[in-house]
Amino acid sequence: MLSKNQIKHINSLKIGKFRRIFKQFLLEGKKSVYDLLNSDFEIIEIYALKYWIDENIVILENKKIEFQEINEKELSRISSQKTPNDVIAIVKIPINEIIPKNIFSGLCLVLDEIKDPGNLGTIIRTADWFGIENIICSKNSVDVYNPKVVQATMGSITRVKVYYTQLSDFLSSKPSETKIFGTMLEGENIYKTELIENAIILIGNESQGISSELLPMIDEKISIPKGSKNFQSQAESLNASIATAIICSEFQRRKI
Amino acid sequence: MLSKNQIKHINSLKIGKFRRIFKQFLLEGKKSVYDLLNSDFEIIEIYALKYWIDENIVILENKKIEFQEINEKELSRISSQKTPNDVIAIVKIPINEIIPKNIFSGLCLVLDEIKDPGNLGTIIRTADWFGIENIICSKNSVDVYNPKVVQATMGSITRVKVYYTQLSDFLSSKPSETKIFGTMLEGENIYKTELIENAIILIGNESQGISSELLPMIDEKISIPKGSKNFQSQAESLNASIATAIICSEFQRRKI
């Protein structure tokens, strides 16, 4: 039986301010918690339906993870989901403050003020698919531990590391052999641009694009050409997570 | 001043049952309504803040569109958005029952039970970008006039036509020169598959993939290869709208 204080604490972690105070976040659902159990994240406590605990009791005991059985009604009181998915974990926010030195080797994804939680979560999931280990976000981007972000990563948050930093300083620190590819509406056709292995893919805000102060730092402006079969496309832009995925896919294709 | 009955009617259109009864749906926001005014959709009425009406009065009067000025408080009572965006239109649901005969010429997107509104909306927006005019959905897919779908299309719903039909019958009716490319986790590397111009891209449900009854109809199983730079990607899948976009992009790239 969950106490009032437990429910209050869990629900407080849906709000950024309390996540920063407690240095904890929530992770929900069987797939995500499965990935969590296979990660180095520190788990504070797990709340789950009886069958889930029965199925996972060995790993919970081996890893000495605290857990509590709850019923469906209790689950719905602490879940962020319309259809709660059996298990919720309170997880310690890891300290990822120091950006690794090898960040500029290979592909690096840099997000300038992504605001939509679904977009950031989907970008993390896509990065995981394409083997991109680290994502750099501007400080004014959406919080990666927002439950909607966590949900959209579908477990990839346990594998891809996300760092928040001041982007112009970060981009200035890159070695000269690493090129910055900025994704814009007016840029070179990505399919025909020469891509290199050590590359930063810079993605701008959903409505404003890349900040004006970062524009001069871009080495190659790239864009995804519109199609026009029978009608001229009047779409103004692509969704930010879609554009990111298409660019990552094109880098991936050239490598294989 | 909105009447209680108006508010009730508008809010009822957020629910599928009432959209089907009234054959109307809601479209919100400046960008989407701008696209709406440039489309053939029949507008029942527009509710907007004073400045928006002042800016658009000429087109409203020329097109003889009924409109009503509302204040921010009224707007927030009828909006589906956290941050309402100045204008809401009630629109007549068009009758798109007859699938056009030229559907099999060029690229055709077929969605098998896409359930997430954000995914369908984003797929429509992506289709618009790549010049794909028509999308075929299985009958059990999410309703295209769901406000979350409409929102995610960012106006593309006014240009891309979406048809609901029984997929195995539809796919059986294709001419022999049109090939069905099924997107799966286990398929040919999309970057190396021979793609043709008259192609059906078949996308499956978010968690179940393509229905078993449709699997035998696929001509080419395709998939997006995982990357592996420094770590082996353990991502289980890509988001359905992301996978669709990458596949569409690859078809587009071969054409240019």
Q: What chain A residue is nearest to B232 in terms of C-alpha separation?
A: A131
pLDDT per residue of chain A (256 residues) written in tens, 0 to 9: 899 999 999 999 999 999 999 999 999 999 999 999 999 999 999 999 999 999 999 999 999 999 999 999 999 999 999 889 999 999 999 986 789 988 998 999 999 999 999 999 999 999 999 999 999 999 999 999 999 999 999 999 999 999 999 999 999 999 999 999 999 999 999 999 999 999 999 999 999 999 999 999 999 999 999 986 555 667 889 999 999 999 999 999 998 6
Number of domains into which chain B is organized: 2
Q: Do A121 and A62 have their domain in common? A: no
Q: Do B201 and B230 have their domain in common? A: yes
Interface test with A, best of B238, B241, B248 (most A CBs within 10 A): B238
For residue A40, give its domain range.
4-92
Chain A residues touching B236 at Cβ < 8 A: 31, 154-155
Q: Do A72 and A146 have their domain in common? A: no
> Mean pLDDT across the stretch B101-120?
95
Cβ–Cβ contact B125 with A under 8 A: yes
Q: Please report the number of interchain residue pairs, chain A to chain B, with beta-carbon separation below 8 angstroms.
A: 148
Cβ–Cβ contact B239 with A under 8 A: yes
Contact yes or no for B129 and A189 at CB 8 A = no
Q: What tens digit of pLDDT does each residue of B167-205 get?
A: 999 999 999 999 999 999 999 999 999 999 999 999 999
Contact yes or no for B132 and A189 at CB 8 A = no
Cβ–Cβ contact B35 with A under 8 A: yes
The predicted structure's pLDDT at residue A174: 95
Q: Do A35 and A110 have their domain in common? A: no
The predicted structure's pLDDT at residue B114: 98
Buried b (16+ CB within 10 A) or exposed e, A124-159: bbbbbbbbbbbbbbbeebbbbbbbbbbbbbbbbbbb
Q: Do A140 and A203 have their domain in common? A: yes
Chain A residues touching B116 at Cβ < 8 A: none
Choose the final residue of a domain: A92, A122, A151. A92
Identify the CATH number of the domain in which residue A76 sits: 3.30.1330.30
Chain B residues touching A118 at Cβ < 8 A: 118
Choose the final residue of a domain: A92, A124, A157. A92
Interface test with A, best of B30, B101, B129 (most A CBs within 10 A): B129
Q: Do B250 and B173 have their domain in common? A: yes
Owner of token pair 């996308």: B203
Buried b (16+ CB within 10 A) or exposed e, B166-202: ebeebbeebeeebbbbbbbeebeebbebebeeebbbb
Chain A residues touching B29 at Cβ < 8 A: none
CA–CA distance, A48 with A52 (Å, rounded to integer)? 6
The predicted structure's pLDDT at residue B231: 54
Interface test with A, best of B234, B237, B248, B250 (most A CBs within 10 A): B234
Q: Do A113 and A88 have their domain in common? A: no
Contact A150, B245 (CB under 8 A): no
Choose the final residue of a domain: B69, B92, B115. B92
Q: Do B118 and B52 have their domain in common? A: no
Q: Do B70 and B119 have their domain in common? A: no
Contact yes or no for B191 and A159 at CB 8 A = no
> Mean pLDDT across the stretch B216-240?
85
Q: Do A166 and A240 have their domain in common? A: yes
Q: Do A107 and A229 have their domain in common? A: yes
Identify the CATH number of the domain in which residue B164 sits: 3.40.1280.10
Q: Do B129 and B237 have their domain in common? A: yes
The whole-model pTM stands at 0.95
Q: With a cut of 70, say whether residue B256 has pLDDT above it.
A: no
